[in-house]
Every structure is written in C-alpha cells, then in structure tokens.
Chains A and B, each alone.
Chain A
Amino acid sequence: MAAAATTKTGARPARAGRRRRLTAPAWIGAVPFFAYVAVFLLWPTGIVVVDALKNPNGAWAFSNFTELANPQVRGYFIGSFKLCLISSLSGAVLGAILAYAVASGDPDGIIRRLYISVSGVLAQFGGVTLAFAFLALIGPVGVLFHASWYFDFPWGIALIYAYFQIPLMVLVFLPAIDGLKVQWREASENLGASAWQYWRYVGAPLLAPAFFGAMLLLFAVALSAFATIQAWENQIPYVVPQQISTALSSEVGLSNVNEADLLALGMVIMVAIVMTAYALLQRRAARWLR
C-alpha cells in the first residue's frame, strides 16, 4: 500500500559512478492517496457534474441550466445563501469567543478536553438528533418554552445550525489561537498597549485570515447540511439540500432526475468558490501563526 510505495521510491542520489538505479520521480509516493481520493471523491463529484449537463435521454444538453432562471429555484438558492451566511457569521463569532476561552486555559486540563470532545461530537451531529433536541426544547410542547419561530426561516434554523457551527468553529479555529505567541502579548503590553489596543493592532489582524477562512468553512458546511432539514420533513422548503433530497425521492418538487443533479451542481460550484477563497486565506494565516 502506501508504505510499500514509499519504499519503492528511494529518491536518493545514485551512488558515485557505476550503478545508476532507476529512480522514479518523487511524486509517485503520493499516488495511492491521489488514487483513493480520485475514486471516492472526485469521481462521484464528477458524475454529478456530468449528469447535470445531460438531459434525461443521456445526451449532452445545457437546457437544464434554464431551470436556474426559474424564480422558484433562484429563490431556493438565495434563501440557502442567506441562511448559510447568517449561521456561519454568528457561528464564527460565537465560536471564536468560545475558542479563545478554551485556548487561554490549562492545555492539559479537563475543561479543554471536555470542550474539544464535546465539539467533536456536536460538530458531527448536524442531523436527526439535533432536530429532535430542539424539538424537545422549544417545539410545540417544548420543555423550555414554546417558540413559534422554531421552524421559521431563517432564525429558527440558524439557531439549530449554531449548535454544530459553534463546535466546528472551535475545532477549526483553536489552532490559530494557540498560534498566537505569548511574547506578542507581553511585548505589546510592555510597549504600552492596553488589552483593547493589543487586540486591535496585533491580535485581531493576526487572527483575521484564519478567522475568515474558518468562517468560509462554516459556510460551506452549512450549505451541505442536509440531514437536519431532512428531519424537519418538508416544513422548510427554502434550503437547497432539502430540495435535492425531495427531488431524489421524487416527492414534491422536481421530478426530473437530471435537474436534481443540476441543483447539486449549483451547490458544488458555490462550494468550490468558497473553498478556493479559503485556500487563499489559509496561506497567509499559516505563515504568521506557524
């Protein structure tokens, strides 16, 4: 497997003189990984992309794109976008605050472990369990109180999204805060800065790329949070993944399978843009906070 591939590649310079070993280029060592990703990530995505460009007969057609002119479909995309923006922004800010609180404590302590494990759990449970939990809390017979807005768009859903956005933010942003060297804080104090001035001139600018990168990540994840909506059972028609799932199960909505693919494609494009922006931001963050 991978280990075998690396032993094969000895890219050391050939021994002086006679025996010239046939050396493969170094990137061969990375082939197993790329092969795996190609098969299980890129190919499925590729299939969706290609399917979106075909019509039901299997021939190439771009007519599916006219669907995008459909105000309903556009409405779905815009609604999706709005929801994700709100939830990622609030998740990012709140998550950053929590991350700072965790980071400034004992690196080996119970609180840090607890919050990170909890974040590890909650960041994954964007689905059924979460929907039920909020149903229990503020649903029609909710324990806390009955919030009639609990399934309203966008704030009700944003609240539920926050439940996994914040932990995800903590997981993604914590390394950046850890990367803030204590010497910077002390140096700025020594030079006369108050806490506010430190954050304004040093802390925030240094964390900004990582922060916005993390926020973009949250945005992308929000965009793809399907399961939560699934559980709400068509109560909220405004989020694209829901639309896709109903299309797939040929219930209410689009009956044309390729249009389901198109919607999927639309999402993939949105996500690709977000990921590229993220990658650019990461470069800068990595240099400073390494």
Chain B
Amino acid sequence: MAAVTSLGETPLTAPAGRPRGMQAGRRRRLNIFRYTVFTVFGLFFLLPLLALARFSLEGATLGTWSVTAWKQIASYQNQNTGIPPLISAIEITLELAVITCAVMLVLLVPTMVWVRLRVRWLSRTVEFLCLLPLAIPAISLVVGLGEIYNRIQRISLSALMLFWVYVILALPYAYRALAAGLTAIDVTTLSEAARSLGASWFSVLVRVIVPNMRAAILNALILTAGVVLGEFTIAYLLLYTNLQVELYSISRNTPNAGVLFATSLAALLLTGVLLLIMSYAGRPRRGRG
C-alpha cells in the first residue's frame, strides 16, 4: 500500500503478487498523455514559484541579482529581543502542527471507529460535520471565535492555543483520509476477534485497528500538517503570530521588496519539503508483493 494516496483511499491494487500488464498500444498512448499532462501542469505550478525565486534574488536596480533579501530574512531581528522572530514563529508553528495532529488523531480515530462499529446511522452526520469547515469562510468563523478565544486567553496567551480551531480546519482532510483507511480494513471482524480474545476497547483501538491504518493515518497527518503550516487568516485576525503571519509582517516591515517574495517562497518550500519527507515515512518495510 502506498503511503501517500491523496485523501487516503487505497491505491490501485494489482492482484496480489502477480504483475498486471497492459496492452502495449494503450500503454504507449497513456504514457504520452501522462507526460504531457505532468509537463503542462508542472510548468503551471512551477512558473510562479520560479518568478518568486527570481524576485527574491533581485538586486537594488531592476535586472540585477542579489541575495540580500534572503540574508535579511535569516538575520531579521526584532529590536527588543535578540531572537529572530522568524525562528520563533517557525518553532511555534511546528509545535502547533504536532499538537494539532495529536489532538486530531485522538479525537477522530476513536470516534470514527466507534461510529463505524456501533452507531452507523451517525456516520452521515459525522461526515457532514467534518466537511463543513471547508466551506465555512474563515471570516465567519473568526467573528464567532472571537468570544471563545477571549475566554481562552484568560487562561493562556500562547499562540499554541490556536490548535483548538486548527483541528477543526483540518477535519475535512483528515476525515477523508481516515475514512478511506477504515473502509479498506474490516473493522468489525478485527475488533470482534480482538474482543473475543479478551482485549479492552483501548487495546482493540491501539493494538489492532491503528496499526492496520498506518497509511491512512499518515495521510491524515500530512494533510493536517499542511493546513497548520499554511494557515494565515485566522491567526492573523485573532492577533496571533504564526509562520505565515510572521512572514507577512516581515514583508511589510522591511524596505527591501525582495524580502516579500523570499519569505513567500521560503514558506512554500519549507512546507513542501516537509510533506514530501513525511510521505516517505510511511513506506511499507516489507518487500514487493
């Protein structure tokens, strides 16, 4: 099973063990199609990024090259504290990502398993609720969240408190990934077998079901991390500082226009590389077949 399968359903399965061939003519046409598509879309996605790169390396006069912008990011210092705020913003965002992922898993996995095993009629409702955040504008959410975060801030002012709402934002992606993983395994039989051997529900979950959902869980984690690393609106409007917000404020506060672009590119690359690495983490250790 491949670790990365979009929002998580099992990839194209060839019959176990036996490689499945395709008629040569058709394969050829398919490959032409695929490579054309990848090239066209690859260019479409790459060009703006390259433009960002170009602008980020722009010197004082148009047309020249200079790495000043990048140096400025690295060394950007807040006058008050000596620590570059960018580093602390990265730290905070990474911590946020970890917390959000953990909470999301603890919240979603047991619930989804339980619903599938015992309360099937609720599954449509759960699915709907999990998709809702995708469609509700961050603005609307923020207006309502203001009150709640007022109360939260009486307890803690840390930006890490953003995780409460980030879990919600990640729900649509995580849900689909986990749902696909659940469909692929026969949860009912597995849990009944484990229960008959004397396992508690906790053991069933942790020792039997989760290990079988590794790929789907990894997918869910990747997508959740993507949400956290890319989130700007809510953090900004709630007056917290995370990676995106910090990049934005750097870009507003430095005279060098190149910094704008450098920071944008940095954010994209950072996240992309991280996600790609994560997708390899779930590679099945057994051999082919």
Contacts and interface: CB of A to CB of B under 8 A. Distances in A.
A and B touch in the complex (CB under 8 A): yes
Interface residues of A, number: 103
B148 A40 contact: yes
A165 to B, nearest CB: 12
A39 B148 contact: yes
Interface in A80-97: 94, 97
Contacts of A43: 144, 148
Given A30-B111, A113-B4, A121-B272, A128 B232 contact: yes
Interface string B128-166: 110111111111111111011000000000000000110
Contact of B275 (A48, A98, A121, A260): A121
Interface in A2-30: 2-3, 5-7, 9-11, 26-27, 29-30
A182 B279 contact: no
Contact of A224 (B108, B110, B138, B180): B138
Contacts of A37: 129, 168, 171
B205 A274 contact: no
Contacts of B171: 37
Contact of A30 (B50, B122, B137, B276): B122
A53 interface: no
Contacts of A26: 114, 118-119
Contact of B111 (A32, A103, A142, A195): A32
A11 B8 CA distance: 30
B223 interface: yes
Interface string A136-169: 1100011110000000000000000001001000
Contact of B272 (A118, A133, A170, A223): A118
A124 B231 contact: yes
A275 B134 CA distance: 10
B84 interface: no
Given A127-B244, A241-B137, A11 B34 contact: no
Given A121-B271, A217-B131, 13 more contacts: A32-B107, A41-B132, A41-B133, A41-B168, A46-B144, A117-B4, A117-B275, A117-B278, A124-B227, A163-B45, A170-B6, A175-B180, A220-B134
24 contacts: A3-B110, A27-B119, A40-B164, A44-B143, A44-B148, A47-B143, A51-B143, A98-B41, A101-B37, A101-B41, A107-B5, A113-B2, A117-B222, A117-B279, A120-B226, A122-B45, A127-B230, A132-B251, A172-B6, A175-B5, A175-B9, A195-B26, A267-B139, A279-B131
